[in-house]
Structure 1
């Protein structure tokens, strides 16, 4: 049985990853900050005994280390760094930027996925698939930025992309791959109701891209349909 670890698993894209992998017969380690409030995830775990729920605040790196230690005997085929926060709002503009919030957005969106990769690298390295996935955004692309704004979110995703590109190079000699995936504009709490893509469609596309991964593709910036994106 293959195993996936998913962060931000209580809703949206993360929950859909858990659902689809569980339906496909995978073992799923579903991580979220407040499991007691994750009713949909709890329901999924009731129907799929292969889904286990783990409390994890990605802003607390000691918790990441503790979870990795508690799961020391686990083998993880695909580590999916999905959790993220937006931070930007209509009031959070140049001249009134909340720099403490910006630091938190950078920590959750860029530093935490690197910390997760570092902490769970032994678990991933001994698996068959040996794959780390970072759910990023096209908003992290400088070439694509024609509208400005969203400074916190854009910089955090650009930093994530740069970090994961470096990890792809560093980990390739160990046979560990890194995928940098844009899920599309998705109907979630962050994406909003006007988004054209459902979580089910986005995750199905990302799973196909993950299934088609070869180590030579490590470090590429792709969308959920497997198309190359500009940095």
Structure 2
């Protein structure tokens, strides 16, 4: 299984890129893919990491998804830059179960995963950093799909599933608002990632569900953005198809027909 878009075409396809949330494993991998493909890349982070500092990018430090003034401050830092491609990757995940929930952690997931991404893209649009023909890709999760939840998987992780379902819905609404302005939107499940975010909780399920490293998923993710058109805006897709889908795999009746870039149930 190979992505369809050659790395050498990235510069022409994606142009000037803004990656929101480039410090995590997936964020850095996607940033690196755009840089190697010849794109001019801006990347936001809360704090610069050694890996990020090695890349040929313009880093915008101190950008926090929970900051009420974050979108306005980011636009100010950009100095009028207009982007062909925006990738919103920032996320947060923690586990919980019946009888052991944290209101603060639930709120944090909703702020970072659902509310923050929409507010930042709204800020970019309102601030003139998006134009007709720009593309916006949101990293979300199959965990936000009600259609992929099963009794076999069981309950729990209320904040995670709820925040990702909320993100999917909010991004869908955003796609309707941005379509008249020529800006298509896609929500992307990147695959079941082998990252620090999942290692403590789900490393024992990596083999069973075909977990992948961020650099393996990155080309498939950018493929989904490359195929964005106004006519198909608002899709919720799986970058790698059924491969590495995660616990949602339990709900699939015909996984062989789920190819990279396929639509996921809401």
Q: Compute the TM-score of the two structures, normalised by the length of structure 2.
A: 0.79
Q: Counterpart in 2 of 1:103?
A: 107
- Tell whether the 8 Å contact from 2:131 to 2:181 is kept in structure 1 after alignment: no
Count of aligned pairs between the two proteins: 220
Query: What are structure 1's unaligned runs of at least 5 residues?
Result: none
Question: Of 52, 58, 61, which aligns to 1:52?
Answer: 58
Question: Of 63, 68, 72, which aligns to 1:65?
Answer: 72
1:118 maps to 2:122: yes
Q: Which moved more, 1:216-225 or 1:193-202?
A: 193-202
Output the CA distance in 1 between the equivalents of 2:142 and 2:44: 24
- Deviation, 1:124, is 4.4
- Deviation, 1:83, is 0.5
Q: Counterpart in 2 of 1:34?
A: 47
Q: Pairwise mapping of residues 1-231 of structure 1 onto structure 2 (< 5 A)?
A: 2-35=15-48, 38-44=49-55, 48=56, 51-55=57-61, 56-88=63-95, 92-121=96-125, 122-126=127-131, 129-146=133-150, 147=153, 148-192=155-199, 193=203, 194=206, 196-224=211-239, 225-231=260-266
Output the CA distance in 2 between the equivalents of 1:97 and 1:29: 37
- Deviation, 1:213, is 1.6
- Tell whether the 8 Å contact from 1:124 to 1:130 is kept in structure 2 after alignment: no
- Deviation, 1:72, is 3.7
SS, match of residue 29 in structure 2 = helix
Cα deviation, 1:25-46, whole Å, max 9, x if unaligned, reads 11111111112xx1111112xx
Cα deviation, 1:53-81, whole Å, max 9, x if unaligned, reads 11111111313211112214101111111
- Cα 1:212–1:30 change in 2 (3 A) is same
Query: What are structure 2's unaligned runs of at least 5 residues?
Result: 1-10, 240-259
SS, match of residue 65 in structure 2 = coil
- Tell whether the 8 Å contact from 1:124 to 1:131 is kept in structure 2 after alignment: no
Q: Compute the TM-score of the two structures, normalised by the length of structure 1.
A: 0.90
Q: Which moved more, 1:188-197 or 1:138-147?
A: 188-197
Cα deviation, 1:78-136, whole Å, max 9, x if unaligned, reads 11110100022xxx322231112211110010000001111111444326x41111100
- Tell whether the 8 Å contact from 1:187 to 1:198 is kept in structure 2 after alignment: yes
- Tell whether the 8 Å contact from 2:88 to 2:139 is kept in structure 1 after alignment: yes
